[in-house]
Amino acid sequence: MPTTPTFAIVGAGLAGAKAAEALRAEGFDGRLVMLGEEAERPYDRPPLSKTYLRGEADRDSLYLHDACFYAAHNIELYTSARVRSIDPPGRRLQLASGERISYRRLLLATGAAPRRLRRPGADLDGIYHLRNRRDADRLVAALGRAARVVVVGTGWIGCEVAASVRQLGRDVTLVGPEAVPLARVLGPEIGCFYRNLHAEQGVRLALGTDVDAFRGDGRVEAVVTSDGRTLPCDLVLIGIGAIPRTELAEAAGIAGGDGVLVDEWLETIAPGVYAAGDVAAAWHPLLRTRLRVAHWANALHQGPVAARAMLGLPTRYEQLPSFFSDQYDVSMEYSGLATASDRVVVRGDPATRQFVAFWVRHQHVVAGMNVNVRDVAEPIQALIRSGRNVDLARLVDPDTPIKELADDDR
Ligand SMILES: Cc1cc2nc3c(=O)[nH]c(=O)nc-3n(C[C@H](O)[C@H](O)[C@H](O)COP(=O)(O)OP(=O)(O)OC[C@H]3O[C@@H](n4cnc5c(N)ncnc54)[C@H](O)[C@@H]3O)c2cc1C
């Protein structure tokens, strides 16, 4: 019998790596095992649709830690190691290789997988998804032979890939059912900003339409849209969202409809089992709702919070949802959680590509997005957290510091 407990982390991505780092930083000196099905140590995914795709960042720059970090911190990192099942009552897991590992605490940090589009021809060669570095490498290689690219999906991955591929000089068509890109998250007004941005960069937009079929003889040659267009192409990238990797949790009876259900300390209903990152649907104590936030900052911050819970030092996960996106020369950060019924007001002129949008509900700010405006994400978050009523004239006035609105007692 081991004298020190074993903590196991399934999923060697951002949330898993940050949890492992935090466990050691908090003084955990037991056995720490991290199991990842990918062939390499944890790396950052955001560059895959941006600098890495465009050849501006190399592979080494993606890694979250130096190669020696894991050994130096006595973290047993197993790559190409897929976990096949977990047994929460027995506190054991089994690898695809058949090996079993007993644990005292288990963190599920299995991330998400690209949603597939089931349409005739969807299995033709030349149709790609983007989730991991191997996908990115395949896409980069295929782009070398492609002149005309169709991107299906106007969410973050679709828009970022469309921007990068356009920056590489390819002919790009962006296809999606919404009237403007990113409409589901940003609404029609701010979605218009992104539609105009892509149009100005020469991206062809086939919006308000779906894909009916992919055509080609072995390899994709065209995308047929539901409004009757045929878009000739050499390559298709599908970016229509990602599905949480809940298969292990589901088989163990601890997953809900959209993710592994965890409380505000990131523990599941199975004692000793935790979840963090894209896979976790966590109760948010401030927003009083369950949220699965599939973005970088969430995985970054949830990993350490899960680590503390595993150590019996629970802290509530209270970060506001937030994410960033870079498209062409436009960098944005979004904080908070808006709904379609919230009112949007804008500080600055979107035509200058430098502005802050606020989503307002009953006179208080529920979300904010700064575009090419630096160092305001924290004040925006403070303003949202404050829950204060705001004067809309001051909110949109560029001369009123956002921090002042959060501190305002009036
Ligand atoms: C191309 C791309 C661009 C992005 N850009 C942005 C951006 O600009 N801004 C932003 O906010 N967010 C962005 N994101 C989202 C962000 O990268 C994710 O939210 C983050 O990576 C989630 O981290 P995670 O650790 O939860 O999951 P992941 O990073 O997906 O890691 C999970 C790991 O678990 C492994 N795994 C799954 N099941 C098993 C199993 N059974 N056994 C062993 N291993 C398993 C997976 O293979 C994977 O390696 C982007 C994502 C992608 C794909």
**pLDDT surpassing 90 at residue 408:** no
Render pLDDT for 104-116 as a digit per residue (tens, 0 to 9): 999 999 999 999 9
Ligand 1 centroid – CA 278 distance (Å):
7
The mean pLDDT value for 42-57 works out to: 98
Segments in 253-318 forming alpha helices (H): 296-310
Q: Is 159 helix (H, G, I), strand (E, B) or coil?
A: helix
Amino acid at 396: V
Query: In this structure, which residue's CA is closest to atom 19 in ligand 1?
Result: 295
Nearest residue to 181 (alpha-carbon basis) of 214, 202, 156: 156
- 116-240 adopts what CATH topology? FAD/NAD(P)-binding domain (3.50.50)
Question: What is the CB < 6 Å shell around ligand 1?
Answer: 10-16, 35-38, 45-46, 48-49, 82-83, 109-112, 130-131, 157, 245, 248, 277-278, 294-297, 299, 323-325
**pLDDT surpassing 60 at residue 231:** yes
Ligand 1 centroid – CA 111 distance (Å):
5
The pTM for the full model equals 0.97
Distance CA 403, CA 382 (A): 8
Domain with CATH 3.50.50.60 in the chain: 6-113+244-310, 116-240
At the fourth CATH level, the homologous superfamily of domain 329-407 is FAD/NAD-linked reductase, C-terminal dimerisation domain (3.30.390.30)
Render pLDDT for 165-193 as a digit per residue (tens, 0 to 9): 999 999 999 999 999 999 999 999 999 99
Query: In this structure, which residue's CA is closest to atom 41 in ligand 1?
Result: 83
Distance CA 307, CA 311 (A): 6
For the beta carbon of residue 1, count every other beta carbon within 10 angstroms: 3
- For the record, the structure tokens of 198 come out as 């892509």
For the beta carbon of residue 402, count every other beta carbon within 10 angstroms: 27
Amino acid at 183: A
pLDDT at 407: 80
Query: In this structure, which residue's CA is closest to atom 50 in ligand 1?
Result: 46
pLDDT category of residue 1 using cuts at 50, 70 and 90: very low
Selecting from 3.40.1640.10, 3.40.190.10, 3.50.50.60, 2.30.30.60, what CATH number does the domain 6-113+244-310 have? Answer: 3.50.50.60
pLDDT category of residue 255 using cuts at 50, 70 and 90: confident
Ligand 1 centroid – CA 131 distance (Å):
7
Domain with CATH 3.30.390.30 in the chain: 329-407
Ligand 1 centroid – CA 349 distance (Å):
34
DSSP secondary structure string, 43-90?
A: B-SGGGGTTTTTTSS-GGGGBSS-TTHHHHTTEEEESS--EEEEETTT
Instruction: Provide the percentage of residues in the chain whose pLDDT is more than 90.
Output: 97
Query: In this structure, which residue's CA is closest to atom 37 in ligand 1?
Result: 110
The enclosing H or E element of 152 equals strand 148-152
